[in-house]
Amino acid sequence: MKQIKKLVKSSEETRALANEMKTITDTVFEAIVLIDNEDIIKFWNKGAELCFGYSDHEALGQVFHDLILPEESKPAAKKRSSTL
């Protein structure tokens, strides 16, 4: 029973921290974008929405350079990201 209470408390603390981080990132005007090592967008805040014009629902799961860069810049970006 103690382990279950400990897990519940840990889960609640994690949820509270995530909510706090979302509040912070949604109140800054700067774009905050997190991408994984395959350039897939994993996090997109309100600043990114204002800066780039896409909602988080439109951006999450997309390849960053495919969404943001003009067509003529995409081949160079793909080449660069494959060497990282």
pLDDT digits (tens, 9 = 90+) for 16-69: 888 888 888 888 889 999 999 999 999 999 999 999 999 999 999 999 999 988
The label of the residue with tokens 């949820």 reads 15
pLDDT for residue 10: 75
pTM across the whole model? 0.67
Q: Where are the alpha helices (DSSP H) in the chain?
A: 2-27, 46-52, 56-59, 64-68, 74-82
Q: What would be the CATH architecture of the domain defined by 2-82? A: 2-Layer Sandwich (3.30)
pLDDT digits (tens, 9 = 90+) for 26-37: 888 899 999 999
pLDDT at 78 > cutoff 90: no
Q: Give the length of the chain.
A: 84
